[in-house]
Amino acid sequence: MNTINIIDKLYKENIATREELLYLLDNIDKDSINYLTEKANEVRMKTYKDKVYMRGLIEFTNYCVRDCKYCGIRKSNKDADRYRLTVEQIVNCAVLGDKLGYKTVVLQGGEDPFFTDEIMVEIITKIKSILPNNAITLSIGERSYESYKKMFKAGADRYLLRHETATKTLYEKLHPNASFENRRKCLEDLREIGYQIGSGFMIGLPEQDNNSLVDDLIYTKQLKPHMCGIGPFIPHKDTPLNNEEGGTLEKTIIMIAILRLLLPDTLLPATTSLGTIDPTGREKGIKAGANVVMPNLSPTDVREKYSLYDGKICTGDEAAECRMCIERRMNNIGFQIDISRGDSILWEKESK
C-alpha cells in the first residue's frame, strides 16, 4: 500500500476500503497532497467543468433550542445577541438575492420554535409565488417527518442537515440531549420525501482522529448526498470548546479532495469557515474539487449576531459586495460563476 496507489484507485474507481482511507490520511505528505488535489480537480472538471454554483445564504434566526458544544448560538450562550428576521424581511432578501443572480436561496437558522410549520410554509409559499423558478434550500435542523413534508409540499426543494460527525461517541459528547440516530433518520426522511439532501461535517473537532474522519468519508459515500458541506471547526469564545484548537486548512483541503474522488457528482461547497481560517481558503477549496460557494445575503445589521464561530468573514459587507467579491475571486483562479439553479448532477440522473 502507498498513498499514490490509493489516490489512483480512488480516481479510477471512486472507492477505497477503510484501511486504505486510514492509510492515506495517516501517511499523506506534501507531494501526495498535490497529486490528490490535481486528481480531484480533474474529476470536478469532468463533471462540473470550471463552473461554480452560487447560493445566497439568509441567516434568519439565531435563536436555538440546542446546545451543541462548538456552536456560538447554542442556547446556553447568554451573551449571544438574539434576533429573528420578519417574514417580510426574509422574502425581501430572497428577492434581492434573485436580482443579484442567486437562483438558490438558503434559509438557515437555529432550531427556533417560533418558526412553526405554518410560518415556514408561509415564507416558502411567498418566495415561490414571486420566484417560481428559483430553488429554496432549508437549513433549520431536526424536525418531524410531517414538518419536512409540509415544507416540501409548500415548495422547498433542498435541505441541508450536516451529520456533524459520523462517530457516535464523539457525536454524543458534542451534542447534549441529542440523538445520533435521529439525525441520520432525519436525512433519510428528507430524501424519502423528495428533497435534494445535503449532509456534511466539521474537520478538527476535539478528539476527532483520522479514524473518525474515515467514518465521515464512509458514511458520506454510503449516504450519497446531493451535497456535502465540510469546513474546519473554529472555536467560539463563549462556548465550552473555547480553548480547543481548530481544524486546519490542509486537513480540510485533503478531505474535500478525497470526497470529490469518492463522490464525483456530489456538490461540494467551499465554505465560509474555510474562507475564515485562510484569506484564500475558498479559492483553495475550489481548486481541490469543490464547486459551490454560498455568500451571505443577510441584512448587514444582523450578520455579526449569527456568530457560529469567531472571526467569521463578510460580517460587514453588503450583499452586493459579497456577490461581486465572490465572482472576482473565482475569476482570479480561472473559474466561472454559473447563475443557474445549480442542481446536483446526481439529482438530474435520479430524475430521469
For the purposes of burial, counting CB atoms within 10 Å of the CB of 84, is it exposed (0-12), middle (13-18) or buried (19 or more)? Answer: middle
Contact flag: residue 325 with ligand FES (CB under 6 A)? yes
Contact in structure between 275 and 281 (CB atoms under 8 Å): yes
In the complex with ligand FES, which residue's Cβ is closer, 113 or 334?
334
- Residue count (the chain): 352
Please state, in angstroms and rounded to a whole number, the distance separating the CA atoms of residues 315 and 125.
29
Does 317 contact ligand FES by CB under 6 A? yes
Residues 137-166 that bind ligand 5AD (CB under 6 A): 162, 164
* Beta pairing partners, 214: none
Pick one of ligand 5AD, ligand FES, none as the site partner of residue 346 (Cβ within 5 to 8 A by kind). none
Region from 39-47, 171-179, 218-226, 320-328 binding ligand FES, contact rule CB under 6 A: 320-328
Q: Tell me the closest approach of the beta carbon of residue 308 to ligand FES, in angstroms.
A: 16
| 326 contacts ligand FES (rule: CB under 6 A) | yes
Q: Which three cell numbers stand for residue 297?
A: 445575503
Candidate ranges 59-67, 146-154, 208-216, 226-234; the one touching ligand 5AD (CB under 6 A): 226-234
Cα dihedral sign, 68-73-76-77? positive
Q: Which one among 106, 186, 202, 262 touches ligand 5AD, defined by CB under 6 A?
A: 202
Does 174 sit near ligand 5AD (CB under 6 A)?
no
For residue 34, count other CB atoms closer than 10 A to its CB: 10
What is the distance between the alpha carbons of residues 323 and 51, in angstroms, rounded to a whole number?
Answer: 16
Residue 233 interacts with which of ligand FES, ligand 5AD, none, CB < 5 to 8 Å by class:
ligand 5AD
**What is the rounded CA–CA span in Å between residue 331 and residue 214?**
33
When asked if residue 308 is in the footprint of ligand 5AD (CB under 6 A), the reply is yes
Report the run of H or E that residue 321 belongs to, with start and end: helix 319-332
The site map against ligand 5AD for 233-262 (x = CB under 6 A) is xx-x--------------------------
Query: Does 16 participate in binding ligand 5AD (rule CB under 6 A)?
Result: no
Q: Does 318 bind ligand FES (CB under 6 A)?
A: no
**Among 132-140, 249-257, 318-326, 340-348, the segment contacting ligand FES (CB under 6 A):** 318-326
Binding flag, residue 302, ligand 5AD (CB under 6 A): no
In whole angstroms, give the CA distance from residue 155 to residue 65. 26
Compute the distance between CA of residue 236 and CA of residue 243 in angstroms, rounded to an integer: 9
The cell for 253 is 483541503
Please give the grid coordinates belonging to residue 233. 471547526
Q: In a 3-state reduction of DSSP, which class is residue 244?
A: coil
Cell of 60: 434568519
Binding-site partner at residue 308 among ligand FES, ligand 5AD, none, CB < 5 to 8 Å by type? ligand 5AD
* Closest residue to ligand 5AD: CB criterion: 309
Residue 230 in grid coordinates:
465540510
Residues in contact with ligand FES by the rule CB under 6 A: 295, 314, 317, 321-322, 325-326
Residues in contact with ligand 5AD by the rule CB under 6 A: 70-71, 162, 164, 202, 231, 233-234, 236, 273, 308-309
